[in-house]
């Protein structure tokens, strides 16, 4: 499988090179040359397959022969080694819980898959790879965990100071080994821009790649969730509507990819907080990125979502075709808190702020008769402990995954500009 840059000014790339480079030289993100739908027989009989078998069938065309079959199956076994349960919260709405992995966020799947691919591609290579990643919250912890101890790979995580939760910060600043955290004086978009700038800086001699959802190996495995949910629901519910809490738009883009592979999803809802670049675009057809605003659903605090260009590509840049399959709505913190209360009062279900925004998207869109809505619960409520316990009359039990890091000492390097990142990369020795 070859990949091309969506800026169309760089040579096409293999899967391996797209993973290792992360971003094309023209600063474009990579996109697969072809998307071949899966067989109708496979889709119709999906209940006969295990999650591991499904994941292999979904991803294999995008990897091609660059990773041997048995190795790819081993990578998948390690990637989807936990549950993805659906929990009903209304008669016609269920939560798809994606937080049962090691860092309790949906990004565990993509981070683990990418880490193993990169480790495989780097075996026997004397030159170490430095993974640069910007995080608005959960990506950092998932990447740190996924790459911890990976041979030949060092990880540098940039996060916005004061704009991630305490637990999120602990997950990305306390592991040590091959993981370094830079605490940036700014917002997520500043972190993301610093990462993109470093890729193009020819003075930096290290091999750099990214573990954000701009990387194909982080992004594509996110298709798995949609197939797993369909497997559980399709015999009872034919018209499925997925509402995805959206920040950088990687998750919902993976959902649209799943649809292009033949998964019969009726409609997508991209649910955002007040960072409403995409909802506004779908109203007036003008794409106007703007600085991100801090909210209680901080993992979605993105003013210029990197993956939206992939979604546009999937619809051949036809906004009307996009609108027929895809809606997007934004919600305030007050609306989010009220919805958390409503969900809890109606069903006893504890939704985190991101899940609540997803639920709101289904309600705003409106479900017709025979339609069934699924919202993605992208992180465990404990990741947003203060917000959840301030909003709901609950005491959230601390899971074992969090107990392991919550009392560890934070270690982070302060950074206020790109020059600080560059200086660190230039002077830091290979570990």
Collapsing DSSP to helix, strand or coil, 255 comes out as helix
Identify which of 6, 384, 431, 382 has the alpha carbon closest to the alpha carbon of residue 163: 384
Measured between alpha carbons, how far is 32 from 19 in angstroms, rounded to an integer? 12
Measured between alpha carbons, how far is 323 from 182 in angstroms, rounded to an integer? 39
Collapsing DSSP to helix, strand or coil, 277 comes out as helix
C-beta separation of 228 from 287 below 8 A:
no
Measured between alpha carbons, how far is 202 from 204 in angstroms, rounded to an integer? 5
C-beta separation of 147 from 153 below 8 A:
yes
Q: Is 107 a catalytic residue?
A: yes
Helices (H), 262-391: 277-284, 308-314, 319-325, 333-347, 353-365, 385-391
Measured between alpha carbons, how far is 412 from 208 in angstroms, rounded to an integer? 20
Identify which of 70, 48, 46 has the alpha carbon closest to the alpha carbon of residue 58: 46
Residue 321 Cα to chain centre, angstroms = 24
Measured between alpha carbons, how far is 295 from 334 in angstroms, rounded to an integer? 10
Task: Return contacts of 397-405, CB within 8 angstroms, 24+ apart.
Answer: 399/104, 401/102, 401/103, 401/104, 402/104, 402/167, 405/167, 405/170, 405/171, 405/174, 405/175
Catalytic residue (one of 107, 231, 363, 383): 107
Catalytic residues: 107
């Amino acid at each position: 499988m070859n990949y091309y840059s969506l800026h169309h000014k760089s040579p096409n790339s293999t899967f391996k090179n797209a993973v290792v480079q992360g971003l094309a030289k023209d600063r474009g993100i990579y996109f697969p040359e072809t998307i071949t739908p899966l067989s109708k027989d496979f889709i119709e009989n999906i209940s006969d397959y295990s999650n591991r078998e499904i994941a292999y069938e979904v991803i294999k065309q995008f990897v091609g022969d660059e990773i041997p079959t048995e190795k790819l199956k081993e990578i998948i076994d390690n990637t989807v080694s936990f549950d993805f349960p659906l929990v009903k919260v209304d008669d016609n709405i269920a939560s798809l819980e994606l937080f049962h992995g090691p860092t309790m966020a949906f990004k565990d799947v993509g981070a683990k898959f990418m880490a193993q691919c990169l480790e495989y591609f780097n075996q026997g290579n004397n030159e170490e790879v430095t993974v640069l990643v910007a995080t608005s919250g959960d990506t950092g912890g998932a990447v740190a965990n996924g790459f911890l101890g990976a041979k030949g790979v060092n990880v540098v995580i940039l996060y916005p100071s004061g704009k991630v939760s305490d637990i999120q910060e602990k997950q990305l600043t306390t592991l040590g080994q091959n993981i370094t955290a830079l605490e940036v004086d700014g917002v997520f978009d500043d972190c993301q821009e610093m990462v993109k700038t470093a890729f193009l800086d020819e003075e930096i001699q290290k091999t750099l790649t990214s573990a954000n959802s701009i990387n194909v190996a982080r992004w594509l495995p996110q298709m798995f969730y949609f197939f797993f949910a369909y497997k559980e629901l399709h015999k009872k519910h034919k018209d499925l509507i997925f509402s995805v809490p959206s920040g950088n738009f990687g998750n919902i883009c993976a959902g649209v990819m799943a649809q292009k592979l033949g998964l019969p999803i009726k409609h997508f809802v991209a649910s955002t907080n007040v960072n409403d670049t995409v909802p506004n675009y779908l109203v007036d057809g003008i794409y106007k990125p703007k600085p991100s605003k801090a909210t209680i659903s901080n993992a979605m605090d993105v003013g210029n979502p990197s993956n939206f260009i992939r979604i546009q590509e999937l619809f051949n840049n036809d906004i009307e075709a996009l609108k027929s399959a895809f809606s997007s709505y934004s919600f305030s913190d007050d609306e989010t808190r009220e919805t958390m209360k409503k969900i809890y009062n109606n069903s006893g279900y504890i939704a985190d702020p991101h899940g609540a925004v997803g639920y709101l998207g289904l309600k705003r869109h409106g479900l017709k008769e025979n339609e069934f809505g699924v919202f993605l619960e992208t992180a465990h409520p404990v990741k947003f402990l203060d917000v959840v316990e301030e909003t709901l009359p609950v005491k959230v039990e601390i899971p074992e995954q969090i107990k392991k890091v919550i009392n560890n000492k934070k270690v982070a390097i302060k950074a206020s500009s790109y020059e600080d990142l560059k200086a660190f990369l230039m002077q830091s020795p290979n570990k």
